[in-house]
């Protein structure tokens, strides 16, 4: 009597090939999910930077924009478009440039702050702010809008 126990070499090779084919079919899904995860993480960083910048503006608006009481009047009060854009290129000091250009997780982000005010907002002592954050390769950007009050701290 001849008893065969175990697997032959051919059976082992065929089973390994089948397992490899099944695993390789999932490989594109894994790569795609990694790319989506990275993209979502980058989008989340941009959103959080925009929100944090708006909150900093609410606490200390004049580190980013001019006071409404400054002479000559700020451009967001006197220009035809009633909007002034503040970016890294508008800055003359390194402290100012650091507010508009942020290096985070070895990636560079640019911040654009747009200030505007109509007559009703001026009466209420509000400045409309739009903060836009972009990553350096400009693929992902996010804007958030809010209002900054200047009644107590803005006028001297």
65 occurs within a structural domain = yes
Check whether 30 has a pLDDT greater than 70.
yes
31 occurs within a structural domain = yes
CA distance 125 to 104: 34
- Residue 89 and residue 109 in contact, taking contact as beta carbons nearer than 8 Å: no
Buried b (16+ CB within 10 A) or exposed e, 113-131: bbbbbeeeeeeebbbbbbb
156 occurs within a structural domain = no
Give the domain range for residue 57.
9-149
CA distance 97 to 110: 10
CA distance 152 to 133: 28
117 occurs within a structural domain = yes
Q: What three-state secondary structure class fits 146?
A: strand
155 occurs within a structural domain = no
Query: Which H/E stretch holds residue 21?
Result: helix 9-59
Q: What is the mean pLDDT of residues 45-61?
A: 93
pLDDT digits (tens, 9 = 90+) for 75-124: 565 555 567 888 888 777 888 888 888 998 888 999 999 988 887 877 78
How many domains are there within the chain?
1
Q: What are residue 145's DSSP bridge partners? A: 130
111 occurs within a structural domain = yes
């Amino acid at each position: 009597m001849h008893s065969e126990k175990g697997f032959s070499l051919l059976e082992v090779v065929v089973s390994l090939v089948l397992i490899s084919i099944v695993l390789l079919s999932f490989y594109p899904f894994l790569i795609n999910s990694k790319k989506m995860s990275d993209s979502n993480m980058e989008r989340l960083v941009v959103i959080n930077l925009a929100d944090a910048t708006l909150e900093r503006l609410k606490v200390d608006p004049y580190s980013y924009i001019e006071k409404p009481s400054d002479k000559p009047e700020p451009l967001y009060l006197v220009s035809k478009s009633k909007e002034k854009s503040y970016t890294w290129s508008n800055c003359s000091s390194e402290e100012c440039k650091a507010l508009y250009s942020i290096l985070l997780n070895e990636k560079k982000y640019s911040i654009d702050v747009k200030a505007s005010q109509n007559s009703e907002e001026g009466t209420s002592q509000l400045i409309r702010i739009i903060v836009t954050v972009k990553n350096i390769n400009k693929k992902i950007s996010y804007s958030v809008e809010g209002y900054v009050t200047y009644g107590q701290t803005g006028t001297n």
